[in-house]
Amino acid sequence: MRHLAGKLVGWPVGLRRSILLSFFGAVLIVALGQQPANTVRQIAPGVYFRQGDRDRRQPANTSWVIFRDYVVLIDANTPWGIREILPEVRKTTDKPIRYVFDTHYHWDHTWGNSVLADTGAVIVCSQDCAEELRTKGKREWERNPTAGEYSLAPYRMEQPAVAFGDFLALDDGQRRLELRKVGPAHGVAFTDLGGRRVRGGHAS
């Protein structure tokens, strides 16, 4: 068992009423259907989803979950993308982003890590994701142009501060977030006490 802030626990002892969100990377399929790029929607109480924008080189979707005292952001996006997303998060809550979960190592999900780490957020991902970020992710980073609109020169490649095996959970007594390694589909399962059930998926 590891303890961060709130209560970070291992395998859950019991589940009450729950919502389940499965993020398999870039495209979230919900009952609302496909949304225009950059659209932010509340998909459950305290759970928000922002549609990515391929035309502006920020194709990954980003979500956030509001806990009692803090926010968990799911997928760091790109540096230019996350700088647009942070004001959207602030419109929904004034609580700080304490944790950022990278669902997998791909550039559009992790290049914004350093921007968020500089705000005090803790970067979290699976051990497999962390290893791929150090190897495959590093090669992706080094191939990016060093000048122009999408230059990474002002930023750094930020590795996760916490890497878990098969399962990790955040629980503050009111809301529970479960992170699970589900294999090559690069996903996460989210369970929220006291809500309804929502499902999503990724098209790679």
Query: Greater confidence, 69 or 197?
Result: 69
| pLDDT at position 86 | 95
Domain of 112 in residue numbering reads as 7-193
| pLDDT at position 182 | 72
pLDDT for 166-191, tens place per residue?
889 999 988 888 888 776 654 454 44
Question: Is 201 inside any structural domain?
Answer: no
Question: Is 204 inside any structural domain?
Answer: no
pLDDT band at residue 24, thresholds of 50, 70 and 90? very low
CATH classification of the domain holding 89? 3.60.15.10
| pLDDT at position 60 | 76
Question: Is 120 inside any structural domain?
Answer: yes
Question: Is 76 inside any structural domain?
Answer: yes
Does position 130 have pLDDT exceeding 90, yes or no? yes
Question: Is 29 inside any structural domain?
Answer: yes
**E runs forming strands in the chain:** 7-9, 18-23, 40-44, 47-50, 62-66, 71-74, 97-101, 122-126, 162-164, 167-171, 176-180, 188-193
Question: Is 1 inside any structural domain?
Answer: no
Question: Is 199 inside any structural domain?
Answer: no
pLDDT for 84-108, tens place per residue?
999 999 999 999 999 999 988 898 8
Model pTM above 0.85: no
* Three-state secondary structure call for residue 56: helix
Domain count across the chain: 1
